[in-house]
Structure 1
């Protein structure tokens, strides 16, 4: 539904957080002021009165001597004004230059380092490779989180080997699944999903999953001060692959659903381990209690699954 248009005094509006490195273009303002055409409504952040899109039109209205201007208000947090300005200036008006868009991508990376390259590329109208290059160049002033939030809002581990293994598990479970679905589920590109599929068909060994960084002792660093045995990740992947290839699961819908659910939990566990560094000290006990509750539920789940086997073993022993 389009936002309503209202007219407000030009004196009540503030300069926006512009993504234009060169600021206002006076020639463009002059051309707008001399045009006989009316102006499209400008976009303004309601809470701060900052102009998100339309600074040239606002300046042209002042040059014409107009006291008010047509406005569409946008609500939302103040720290998102810059991102909205980039979005708006990409789609219409005086186009942002390539330099403007690259600078905007670097600033958004500093604001939201966990956002994926594709998500930022979509905002800035750049390629994901260009955003990725900006991320690599700016390792000193841009944090490098171990998870990335994609365009769908889902957090996924930045470890590409783990994401490939999740894709491999899904392909093993559902051989005919569309590669776009595999890519979306695992948080990889369609071309990467195609490469995983090609390697599986050719019988090639997959890239090692679960170990993205090792120290001299062969243990994997997950967060500051926390290390765990790299075999944990490998064992989890091996178990998932075994379940995905089991005909009793692969050939039934409930079985396939179970493997999908367990694969998603593996992804969640990996992401959770990497997010531990973000837990502030005053929240640590609460998060630990919650983790303990989840662990107890998993333990109960495991006991229920083990009970029939234990009964069968007892009967054989008796």
Structure 2
């Protein structure tokens, strides 16, 4: 009988239905788990479910019974996949559940910045409309998405969906080639050219050692059009201190972030300083979390478990 342990059930909304697998099993779930609790809670587990709880090599070596790590998300950077491979532990993830929610959130962030929605909402609440003495006022310059250029980093399912929505708004889309390459094949555009031409740059790539701090000081200084920066992927794709300096110097016009390098960010974290700025929007890693998407995730999670036990694993994560 399999022993299944869900380490962080609270990462799904309480109203999400989580069916139990059809095979014989013992199910344990914890609302939250600290890194120090991982080994103790997984000691008897053959299947671990985690969304964001880290599973390190040090922890995995103490879990000889573990056979499957099911990540209740698409990104698997919380799991040491090389250590899992050495121990014969399969890692599987959830795919294609956020094809509407993340792109819609991305476009909402883009529109909110371009249309100055929060700046105008706040000024109306403060009485500025009445004080203006006329039917409208122009304290916060508005820009159209139509006719602007969107640079996209990551041509997976989410990136392609964002591209389709952006093109419906009349934006030109440039797919960024790999950083450091000067020659790329269509449909990609060289990295440096994307930086030089984009009015908006949106990130939709995984966090790896190669993509950590993909955007840092050098990149912000290579953006003559002072673009908006959108990140709904992983916080550490951006050097947040460098972003803070870029905003100070006017190298970028604004930023909308759904992620931070530390989550949740403590009060003294740079992300919380960024959140105080009028041209920055910070949302709490909820781009993926529409009601419909969370239910699709939960349903697919059980399918992943059942497929593994049936000997037909699905959604294996690469090493």
TM-score under structure 2 normalisation?
Answer: 0.25
More helix per residue: 1
Higher RCO (CA < 8 A, seq sep 6+): 2
TM-score under structure 1 normalisation?
Answer: 0.25
Which of structures 1 and 2 has the bigger CA Rg? 1
